[in-house]
C-alpha cells in the first residue's frame, strides 16, 4: 500500500508537471521520478524488491506519460532505486542542505544514466555538448524539488506508520 501511495503521488505530480512545464521558459525539467525512486531505495531497509517494483512501475508510468521509449525511465528508476538502497547505510538524508545535495546528485546520476542509454542506442542527435547544459539545469531543478518531494514522501510514510514512533521518525526523515 505504501508503495502504491508513493506511485500515486508521483503519478499526480507527473500529471501536474506535464501541464505546468510546457508553460515554463526553460528546457530543463526536475527529475521527480528519480527522486521518488531514490526515496524508495533509501527507505527499503530490509527488502529491496518491493521498492524496486514501485520504482519500475513509476518509471514505466513516466515513460507512458512523458513519451520516452518504454523502459527507459523504468530502467533508470530501478537503477536509482538500487543505488539509493546501497547508499542508505552510509548517508543520512536529513535537513534541507543534505536533501538538496542528495537530490542534486540523484538528478545528476539519473541524467547521466539516461544519457548513457541514449548514447548506447544512438539517440543523441544533438550531441553531448547540447545535452550537458540541460542535464545540469535538470539536476539543479531536481535539487530544488528534492525537499518538496521528500516531504511528500515522508508525509505518506507517516500516514502508513504502524505506531506513533514510526510516524514521528518518518516525519523526521530518519526511517520509513
Q: Which is nearer to other proteins, 87 or 158 (CB)?
A: 87
Could you say which of 5, 65, 98, 115 contacts other proteins (CB under 8 A)?
65
Per CB under 8 A, contacts with other proteins among 136-175 are none
Task: Compute CA distances 48 → 42, 51, 58, whole Å.
Answer: 10, 5, 15
Please identify, using beta-carbon distances, which residue of 39 and 60 lies nearer to other proteins: 60
One of 3, 28, 43, 68 touching other proteins (CB under 8 A)? 68
87 binds other proteins (CB under 8 A): no
Out of 4, 20, 91, 155, the residue judged to bind other proteins by CB under 8 A:
20
- Residue 78 burial (10 A CB sphere; 0-12, 13-18, 19+): buried
- Applying CB under 8 A, among 33, 38, 56, 135 the residue interacting with other proteins is 56
Q: Residues with Cβ < 8 Å from 59, sequence gap 6 or more? A: 33, 37, 72, 73, 74, 75, 76, 77, 78
**Cβ distance 73 to 35 under 8 Å?**
no
Q: How far is the CB of 143 from other proteins (least distance, A)?
A: 23
Amino acid at each position: 500500500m505504501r508503495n502504491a501511495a508513493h506511485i500515486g503521488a508521483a503519478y499526480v505530480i507527473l500529471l501536474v508537471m506535464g501541464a505546468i512545464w510546457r508553460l515554463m521558459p526553460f528546457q530543463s525539467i526536475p527529475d521527480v521520478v528519480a527522486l521518488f525512486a531514490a526515496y524508495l531505495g533509501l527507505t527499503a531497509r530490509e527488502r529491496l524488491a518491493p521498492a524496486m517494483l514501485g520504482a519500475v512501475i513509476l518509471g514505466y508510468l513516466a515513460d507512458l506519460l512523458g513519451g520516452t521509449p518504454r523502459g527507459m525511465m523504468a530502467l533508470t528508476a530501478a537503477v536509482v532505486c538500487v543505488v539509493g538502497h546501497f547508499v542508505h547505510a552510509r548517508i543520512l538524508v536529513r535537513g534541507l542542505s543534505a536533501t538538496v545535495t542528495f537530490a542534486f546528485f540523484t538528478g545528476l546520476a539519473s541524467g547521466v544514466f539516461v544519457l548513457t542509454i541514449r548514447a548506447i542506442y544512438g539517440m543523441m542527435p544533438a550531441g553531448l555538448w547540447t545535452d550537458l547544459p540541460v542535464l545540469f539545469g535538470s539536476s539543479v531543478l531536481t535539487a530544488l524539488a528534492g525537499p518538496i518531494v521528500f516531504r511528500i514522501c515522508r508525509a505518506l510514510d507517516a500516514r502508513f506508520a504502524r505506531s506513533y514512533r514510526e510516524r514521528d521518525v518518518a516525519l523526521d526523515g530518519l526511517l520509513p
